[in-house]
Amino acid sequence: MGVYPTPVMSPDALLEEAARALVTAEESIKLVTRVAPRDVGSELARLARDYSRGKALVVTYANERPVELTAVRRTLERVRAVSEPLGPFGMLHAERALELELEARLAESLGTPRFRALAAQRFAAPSAALARQCDDFVKEALALPPLEAPERHRSDDEADPKSLIARLRVRSRELGLSLRLHTARDQLAVAATGDGVVSVRTGAWLGAAAAERIATHELFGHALPRARARHAPWSLFRAGTRGANDDEEGRALLAEQRAGSLDVERRRELALRHVAALGVRAGAEPRATCATLVELGLPLERALDMTLRVQRGGGLAREIVYLPAYFAVKRAFAESPALERWFERGRVGLDAAAVLMRFPPAPARDPKASGRRGG
């Protein structure tokens, strides 16, 4: 993780080393993992008891001990310093380093009053134009009558062909993806995708349509770009550019729409998540978030689940980026379809894709010659 320039290193080699340092830094920070509870089922049961007794809801998380990431932040500062002078492509590395440095400070601030302010910087409320689109979406979605509850299937039931894990297994094979599938009790998302792995939350009950939608979201929105990034000419596509994680969620929602999966249930879910996240940004505490969701027609069990998600870590509210990213990505792709090709190649955000279209950098040296790690 040195990332120090030396007289014998070419700009391409420097940026390859910088990108590898970004990958390592993200793995060390692991923000989303740190803000999750150890056992989602137990946490939800505790919150349900406290809610029924009129008590304040206190959201806990797995890593309650203070974390110290000074060395990681120093490395990210070196990445920024080395990369910034190296033209537009170098600036993409520097901007990602700044984004990860903010995430490192967020991880360090867990359990402190600074957490919400830093979360609002990293996952900011949308611009005025996007906010209006989101508000319109929310109004329309919440005006739709809820559908009758479908037959549900346990997410991690390998023996049920309609379960989420079974659908992920079948569809990943159809796409030629080599993925590990495993289950987890300590993640708030029903499914989460990493490098070569999709994790399914145990004990979640889903209709068949919802399982199919989640498989589409994870495989087309997240798993395919990560798989292709392993073969990309630049390691930055594996490390991700600034905003890539957020814009990737927008593209994953677009994949759902294209598959015909943005049904009434999903649209209401997205609308309620957005409302809840805006509430957190306005200062709402967990009990107020849950009460708002119940008033909007969400059953208590699901309201608590959504509350736990937006309030994780003390108010991360990452859900605030989903709808704005969806509208931004949808518009950008309509105006310039070539932008999407960059999203297909790895973890690339809209701003970075626009830069890459204007200033396509020269390919890095052959991995064997440059010493770049594969896989």
Please give the full DSSP string across 281-323, using - where no structure is assigned: HTT--HHHHHHHHHHTT--HHHHHHHHHHHTHHHH--GGGGHH
373 pLDDT higher than 60: no
**What per-residue confidence (pLDDT) applies to 369?**
37
Domain residue limits at 149: 11-370
> pLDDT of 188-223, one tens digit each?
999 999 999 999 999 999 999 999 999 999 999 999
User: Which strand ranges, in their side-by-side order, compose the sheet holding 197-201?
Assistant: 180-184, 197-201, 191-194
Question: Is residue 69 over pLDDT 60?
Answer: yes
pLDDT of 65 higher than 80: no
What local confidence, expressed as pLDDT, does residue 114 receive?
A: 94
The pLDDT of residue 366 is above 90 = no
Report, as an integer, the average pLDDT of 262-287. 97
pLDDT at position 372 is 30
Residue 375 lies in a domain: no
pLDDT at 147: 80
Q: What is the DSSP string of 87-148?
A: HHHHHHHHHHHHHHHHHHHHHHTTTSTHHHHHHHHHSPPPPHHHHHHHHHHHHHHHHSPPPP
Euclidean distance between CA atoms 296 and 132, whole angstroms: 20
Q: Is the pLDDT of residue 6 over 70?
A: no
132: in domain: yes
| pLDDT at position 89 | 94
Q: How many domains, the chain?
A: 1
**% pLDDT > 70, the chain:** 93
Share of the chain above pLDDT 90, in %: 84
Residue 3 lies inside a defined structural domain of this protein: no
* Averaged pLDDT for residues 90-110: 97
Average pLDDT (346-354) is: 96
Are 73 and 81 a contacting pair, CB within 8 Å?
no
Residue 371: band (very low, low, confident or very high) from pLDDT cuts 50, 70, 90: very low
Question: What confidence tier does 362 reach under pLDDT thresholds 50, 70, 90?
Answer: very low
* 40 belongs to a structural domain: yes
What are the tens digits of pLDDT across the range 145-162? 888 888 999 999 999 999
216 in a structural domain: yes
Q: Give the Cα separation of 161 and 124 in Å (integer).
A: 39
What pLDDT score does 360 carry?
59
pTM over 0.75: yes
Evaluate whether residue 153 is within a structural domain.
yes
Q: DSSP letter at 231?
A: T
DSSP state of 176: T
Residue 6 lies in a domain: no
β partners of residue 152? 207
Residue type, 265: E
Q: What local confidence, expressed as pLDDT, does residue 3 receive?
A: 55
Q: Which tens digits make up the pLDDT trace of 315-339? A: 999 999 999 999 999 999 999 999 9
Residue 31 lies in a domain: yes
**Which residues is 193 bridged to in the sheet?**
198
Residue 66: per-residue pLDDT: 76
